[in-house]
Amino acid sequence: MTKGFRIAFRFSIVAIAAIAAILMASVILWMIGADVSDTFYIIIFQPLTNMLHLSEVLIRAIPLCIIALGISVAYRSGIINIGAEGQMAMGLLAFTGVALAFPDVPRPLLLPLAMIASMIGGGVWGFIPGILKAKLNVSELLSTVMLNYIAAQFYSLCLRTIYLDPAEQVYGTGTPQSMRLTENIWLGRISGRLHYGIIIALVLAVLIYILMWKTTIGYKMRASGSGARAARYGGISVGFYLAASMAISGAFAGFAGGVELAGVHRRAIEGITNNYGFSGVVVALFGGLHPFGIIPASFLFGLLIYGSTLAPSQVGVPANIVQVMQGIIIIVIVTAQMVLSNTYFQDRVWRKYQALRKKEG
Amino acid sequence: MDNRIRSLKMEHITKRFPGVLASDDISISVGEGEVLALVGENGAGKTTLMNILMGLYQPDEGRILINDQPVRFRGPEDAFKAGLGMVHQTYMLVPNMTVTENVALGYRNTGKKRYDIKEVRKRIEEVSSQYELLVNPDAYIWQLSVGEQQKVELVKTLCLGARFLILDEPTSALTPQEVDELIVLLQRMTKELSIIFISHKLQEVKALSDKVTILRHGKVVFSGNTSEHSPQEIAAKMTGHEIILPRNAGSAKAGATVLSVENAVVMSDRKIPALNGLNLEIRAGEIVGLAGVSGNGQRELAEAINGLRKTESGRIVFLGEDIANCSPREIIDRGMGYIPEERNTEGIVPPFSIKENFVLKDIASPSFSSNGFVNGKKIDSTAEKLVSRFDIRCPGIDTAAGSLSGGNIQKVILAREIERKPKFLVAVYPTRGLDMGAVEFIHSELLKIRESGIGILLISEELDEIMNLSDRIAVIYKGVIQKVLDKNEATRERLGILMAGVKEE
């Protein structure tokens, strides 16, 4: 098989996949009577045209990236964390709690303290399903989803009771939100609403790379995930690393909540988690469970999420339809990845191609 | 309707997999009532060829002829309809169903719209009396021994109307007595059936087959009448060179006791005692072979010694200290080496590279890491050294270990355990399913370890392996040691009787 053929093969598969995705999405848009080309332009290219749009895309990529990094750690250790949504909520609560409790502590002390609190909040929420799985073999799919519900309701409850902005009570608007948090926990902004969380996310990606591939802890986690039985036979305490990986995973989700609060919202309101916990799973898988794949993947998904907010106002396409299109794109890309990794198929195409050439020559 | 298979031919079969030519222009032919032995090392392409015959794979080139008519099997259903039946190496039976129900399950593939269980039962009785294959139609599969399960597989295949049998390594899990029984049974069946059987055990090939076809690297290297060739000749043709398995010729120079198991009671996965107060003692520099039909407590013994299974009572004394119920880590650190039964799931982490698998037990030791950071260079250089010393055939040290052949995987495990310089080694079925070349290598390595003064507990079902390597042979039956024999006292017959549970006077 020549190198040229391999490149041509990959390129044609990707091209076919892209065309298929565009065609399917176009049919849907055409059925609801939208302007097909305008819609594509709005959701895919317009966000890249100016700094304001671009920074909005990046803002959404930051929590996605941090959460996906955590999920990749758990996934590689053999446990599927779909509880990042709840872990993020617990991180938000812990962060807000510290900020409300110590408004006068100076920034160099308070900001790290609140960030650590958010990690602990999420970490504990991740550790629970981890230890349940390790000790009692409770399915993490069950426990993480259930803990998501608990966290969401608990978050909601706190916003309406102990965290409720005193001003809201005075004016009686009753919006469930905390007061604006002290400036001592704000993260600085680079441009527009884009905050320094982006640097944090990139640094974390490098740290995760080092943890998973350069340390003995990472080695043991990966061994537990790729062959639990062999790891146990090799003297690795699989249960311990399972629980630890879930604690790390939860801590990342909680930390993503803290960064989101400190950088963007600066007060606890409903809807901050914004399904990032679930999108994070897709981003992690899409990025090949590798930090350097997760970075571009989170940018892509940030783009799609932001695009879906633009579409309703600019071309009158409901956000739901944009989500349907996202679903199609994801399925097509995943399918293309599977085809590309099937060397047997590639081999067959190569032989057909050679047979064709022989006939002509 | 005359639906007999008078002849079956496969002509010029070629099948490619990515990067491998699994079958290269293979032709075989079997006449009515003939037995063809398909012989070859692992990876020679025997199973691939049979899967093509059963319609599981489509050949890239070549054709199949039955009674000189070309046929095309798009799937196993087509092959069943043509009268071919295959008994796989691992039995395809549902353990918590009865024999009758298992046979009935197969009826779905024959195209019958409905089946009634009484009819299936009647058919089973017909078939078992016709071929003298005695099975109890109401027994549950889990109650049956491996040999009995195989009979069920045969009955199932015959009930479905097979007139041509394909047997994939039919004797690999049987006791010597069961093997003899099976050979007699198959000889009787050849009056009405033709058989292809895959094997790499030459005694059976000699005893049973009329013709033999030898495959090597996907090619037919030899085809001829079995009676005209000696087992040695066939073995040499199979491997491409003469193979003489090494023997333990050294005199016993055993030292102090290294491992002693005292009255150990250990539960199986089903929570019934698998070891019932087992006693065994192994000294430095000797190989003790543990002979027995699998499922008599071998797995539980090996796991208990390595801390992977709870010891309910009794002691396991290793170098003077009781290690019963210590963690696997502690036992590894005390110098226990272990070649586990399931090399693909217990011995290696399959997606991990070869070099990563070499350090599975020692990643945290100062030789491969410092302050929690792995030392990549050290791991690489060790891996290069081991790959060349143990002649592990692989594209490189970064290749996923799971993609290697069974023999090479076993070499990876062996290399890791030997490199750790163990003080004792537990080897469980170390050569199961390996070809002669790999067996030769592993046996000579085990003997080298013995020479260096390390005790070995060798658990195996292969009597030849045990008799060739051991200084002493212990026979296990239902969780206790029946008897310990010196290697000079042991004969195949004597061991076979002990393995079947008969007590000696």
Q: Where are the alpha helices (DSSP H) in B337-462?
A: 354-358, 376-389, 406-419, 436-451
Cα angle A216, A220, A223; round to 5: 135
Residues B7 and B33: beta-carbon distance below 8 Å: no
CB < 8 Å to A226, chain B? 349-352
Q: Is B307 in the same domain as B430?
A: yes
| The last residue of a domain, from among B186, B207, B239 | B239
Same domain, B427 and B400: no
Residue B436 lies in a domain: yes
**Do B349 and A226 lie within an 8 Å CB cutoff?**
yes
For range A270-279, the mean pLDDT: 92
A197 and A332 in a single domain? The answer is no
Nearest by CB to B373, from A214, A237, A344: name it. Answer: A214
Chain centroid offset of residue B148 CA:
18
Instruction: Give B349→chain A minimum CA distance, Å.
Output: 5
Q: Express as a percent the part of chain B with pLDDT over 90.
A: 40
On whether both A307 and A331 belong to a single domain, the answer is: no
**Residue A290 at interface with chain B, using a CB cutoff of 8 Å:** no
Q: How far is B234 from chain A (nearest CA, A)?
A: 34
Asked if the C-beta of A216 comes within 8 angstroms of chain B's C-beta atoms, the answer is yes
pLDDT tens digit string along A161-196?
Answer: 999 888 887 887 777 889 999 999 999 999 889 999
Distance (Å) from the C-alpha of residue A288 to the closest C-alpha of chain B? 15
Nearest chain B residue (CA) to A235: B329
From residue B132, alpha-carbon distances to B33, B91, B153, B357, B454 in Å are 18, 21, 14, 49, 49
**3-class DSSP state for residue B296?**
coil
- Give which of B346, B373, B370 is closest to B360, Cα–Cα: B346
Let me know whether A348 and A309 are in one domain. no
Query: Residue B371's Cα: distance from chain center in Å?
Result: 42
Residue B341 inside a domain? The answer is no
User: Do the Cβ atoms of B363 and A219 come within 8 Å?
Assistant: yes
pLDDT at B399 over 80: yes
CATH number at residue B292: 3.40.50.300
> Which of B328, B356, B364 is facing A233, going by the closest CB pair?
B328
CA–CA–CA angle B140, B145, B151 (5° rounding) = 80
Distance CA A287, CA A300 (A): 10
Among the partner-chain residues A217, A226, A233, the one whose CB lies closest to the CB of B340 is A233
Whether A347 and A220 map to the same domain: the answer is: no
B33 and B133 inside one domain: yes
Residues B319 and B394 in one domain: no
Same-domain pairing of B232 and B132: yes
Option in A216, A232, A344 nearest B372 (CB)? A216
A217, A219, A237: best mutation site toward chain B, by most B Cβ within 10 Å? Answer: A219
On whether residue A23 sits in a domain, the answer given is: yes
Flag whether B292 is in a domain. Answer: yes
- Distance of alpha carbon A68 from alpha carbon A55, whole angstroms: 20
The C-alpha of B156 sits at a distance from chain A's nearest C-alpha, in angstroms, of 34
A218 with A276, same domain: the answer is yes
Residue B2 within a domain: no
Q: Does A288 lie in the same domain as A224? A: yes
**Cβ pair B39, B240 in contact under 8 A:** no
**A203-219 pLDDT tens trace:** 999 999 999 999 999 99
A253 in a structural domain: yes
Q: Do B328 and A347 touch (CB under 8 A)?
A: no
A358 and A282 both lie in a single domain = no
Per-residue confidence (pLDDT) for residue B112, from 0 to 100: 57
Which residue out of B363, B377, B419 would a mutagenesis test of the A interface target, given it has the greatest number of A Cβ atoms within 10 Å? B363
Inter-residue contact A277 to A86 (CB < 8 Å): yes
Residue A60 lies in a domain: yes
pLDDT at residue A247, as a whole number:
97
**Looking at chain B, which residue has its C-alpha nearest residue A216?**
B372
Dump pLDDT digits (tens) for A62-72. 999 999 999 99
pLDDT of B60 higher than 60: yes
Residue A47 lies in a domain: no
What one-letter code names the amino acid at B246?
A: P
User: Is A346 in Cβ contact with B349 (below 8 Å)?
Assistant: no
Residues of B in contact with A222 (CB under 8 A): 352
Q: Are residues B478 and B442 in the same domain?
A: yes
Q: Say whether both A227 and A130 belong to one domain.
A: yes
Residues B218, B199 within the same domain: yes
Judge whether B209 and B226 are in contact, CB under 8 Å. yes
Q: Please name which of A119, A97, A118, A98 lies closest in space to residue A107, comparing C-alpha atoms.
A: A98
Angle at B83 between CA B82 and CA B89, to 5 degrees: 120
Nearest to B346 among A222, A233, A237 (CB): A233
- The answer to whether residues B144 and B280 belong to one domain is no
User: Is A63 among the domain residues?
Assistant: yes
Confidence label for B148 from pLDDT (cuts 50, 70 and 90): confident
Closest CB to A215 among B17, B18, B372: B372
Of how many residues is chain A composed?
361
Please check whether residue B1 lies inside any domain of the structure: no
Nearest CA-CA distance, residue B294 and chain A, Å: 20
Mean pLDDT across chain A: 90
The boundaries of the domain holding residue A153 are 55-316
**Shortest alpha-carbon distance between residue A359 and chain B (Å):** 18
- Could you give the strand order of the β-sheet that contains B472-477, starting from the edge strand earlier in sequence? B336-339, B424-428, B455-460, B287-291, B472-477, B480-486
> Cα–Cα distance between A81 and A94 in angstroms, integer?
20
* B359, B478: one domain: no
Which CATH number does the domain housing residue A97 bear? Answer: 1.10.3470
**Interval B292-327: pLDDT, tens:** 887 889 999 999 999 999 999 999 999 999 999 999
Determine the pLDDT at residue B115: 63
CB contact under 8 A, B352 and A223: yes
Let me know whether B160 and B190 are in one domain.
Answer: yes
Q: In one letter, which amino acid is B321?
A: E
The mean pLDDT of chain B is 87
Which has the closest alpha carbon to A348: A5, A3, A4? A5
Q: What share of chain A is helix, strand, coil (3-state, %, to 5)?
A: 80, 0, 20
Residue B480 tokens read as 């206790």
How far is the C-alpha of B242 from the C-alpha of B238, rounded, in Å?
9
Distance, in angstroms, between B404 CA and closest chain A CA? Answer: 16
User: What is this structure's pTM?
Assistant: 0.80
Decide if pLDDT at B280 tops 80. yes
DSSP code string of B181-245 = HHHHHHHHHTTT-EEEEEE--HHHHHHH-SEEEEEETTEEEEEEEGGGS-HHHHHHHHHSS----
Q: Under an 8 A CB cutoff, do B374 and A216 touch?
A: yes
Q: Which of A212, A213, A216 to probe by mutation at the B interface, max B CB count within 10 Å?
A: A216
* pLDDT value of position B466: 93
The better pLDDT of the pair A233, B270 is held by: A233
- Sorted by sequence, the CB contacts under 8 Å of residue B371 that are 6+ apart come out as none
Tell me how far apart the alpha carbons of residues B308 and A42 are, in angstroms, rounded to a whole number. 59
Lowest mean pLDDT among B91-105, B106-120, B298-312: B106-120
C-alpha span between A57 and A19 (Å, rounded): 24
User: Is A354 contained in some domain?
Assistant: yes
Q: Please determine, for residue A226, whether its predicted confidence score (pLDDT) is greater than 50.
A: yes
How many CA atoms are closer than 13 Å to the CA of B261, on its beta-carbon side?
26
- What is this model's ipTM? 0.83
Note which residues in 224-283 of chain A have CB less than 8 A from chain B.
226-227, 229-237
- Kindly state the tokens that stand for B205: 């090939």
Measured between beta carbons, the chain A residues lying within 8 angstroms of B371 are: none
Using CB atoms, pick whichever of A227, A235, A344 lies closest to residue B349. Answer: A227
Is the pLDDT reported for residue A342 higher than 80?
A: no
Question: Total domain count for chain A?
Answer: 2
A330 versus A39: the higher-pLDDT residue is A39
Q: Radius of gyration over alpha carbons of chain B, in Å?
A: 24
Question: Considering B214, B239, B264, which residue would you say is the last residue of a domain?
Answer: B239
What's the distance, CA B414 to chain centroid? 18
Residue B344 in any domain: the answer is no
Is residue A58's pLDDT more than 90? yes
A81 and A21, same domain (yes or no): no
Note whether B334 and B319 are within 8 A (CB): yes
Nearest chain A Cα to B309, which residue? Answer: A233
Asked if residue A134 and residue A259 are part of one domain, the reply reads yes
Round to whole Å and give the CA distance between B266 and B188. 43
Question: Domain boundary residue among B173, B207, B239?
Answer: B239
Total structural domains within chain B:
3
Question: In terms of Cα–Cα distance, which of B356, B340, B337 is closest to B410?
Answer: B340
Which residues of chain B are within 8 Å of residue A212 when distances are taken between CB atoms?
none
Report residue A1's pLDDT band, with 50, 70 and 90 as the boundaries: low
Helix (H) or strand (E) segment spanning residue B20:
strand B20-31
Judging contacts by C-beta atoms under 8 Å, the chain A residues touching residue B305 are none
Does residue B497 carry a pLDDT above 90?
Answer: no
Residue A50 resides in a domain: no
- Summarize the confidence of residues B434-456 as an average pLDDT: 90
Query: Within this chain, do residues A288 and A232 fall inside the same structural domain, yes or no?
Result: yes
Residue A42 lies in a domain: no
User: Would you call A235 and B361 a contact, using CB atoms and an 8 Å cutoff?
Assistant: yes
Domain of B372, in residue numbers: 349-421
Q: Check whether residue A204 and residue A329 sit in a common domain.
A: no
Apex B128 CA angle, B125 and B129, nearest 5: 85
CA atoms within 13 A on the CB side of A175: 13
**Position B409 pLDDT exceeds 50:** yes
A102: helix, coil or strand?
coil
Q: Measure CB to CB from residue A215 to each of B338, B360, B374 and give the nearest one.
A: B374
Of A168-182, B361-375, B439-453, the range with the lowest mean pLDDT is: A168-182
Q: Give the C-alpha separation, B483 to B467, whole Å.
A: 15
Residue B384 lies in a domain: yes
To the nearest whole Å, the CA of B380 is away from the closest chain A CA by: 14
Answer for the pair B75, B86: CB distance below 8 angstroms, yes or no.
no
- Give residue B118's pLDDT band: very low, low, confident or very high (50, 70, 90): confident
Q: What is the mean pLDDT of residues B58-79?
A: 87
Provide the number of CB pairs (under 8 Å) joining chain A to chain B. Answer: 82
Per-residue pLDDT band at B186 (split at 50, 70, 90): confident
Which residue in the set A230, A235, A346 is minimally distant from B349, CB to CB?
Answer: A230
Q: Which chain B residue is nearest to residue A347, measuring alpha carbons? A: B18
**Residue from A270, A118, A312, A290 nearest A197 by CA:** A118
* Model confidence at A115: pLDDT above 80: yes
Q: Given this model, what pLDDT does residue A229 score?
A: 94
Residues B29 and B135 reside in one and the same domain: yes
Residues B442, B386 within the same domain: no
Using beta carbons and an 8 Å cutoff, which residues of B are at the interface with A?
16-19, 306, 308, 327-329, 331-333, 338, 340, 342, 345-352, 356, 359-361, 363-364, 369, 372-374, 376
Q: Which residues on chain A are in Cβ contact (under 8 Å) with B373?
A: 214-216
Beta-strand runs (E) in B92-237: 164-168, 194-199, 211-216, 219-225
Asked if the model's pLDDT at residue B1 lies above 50, the reply is no
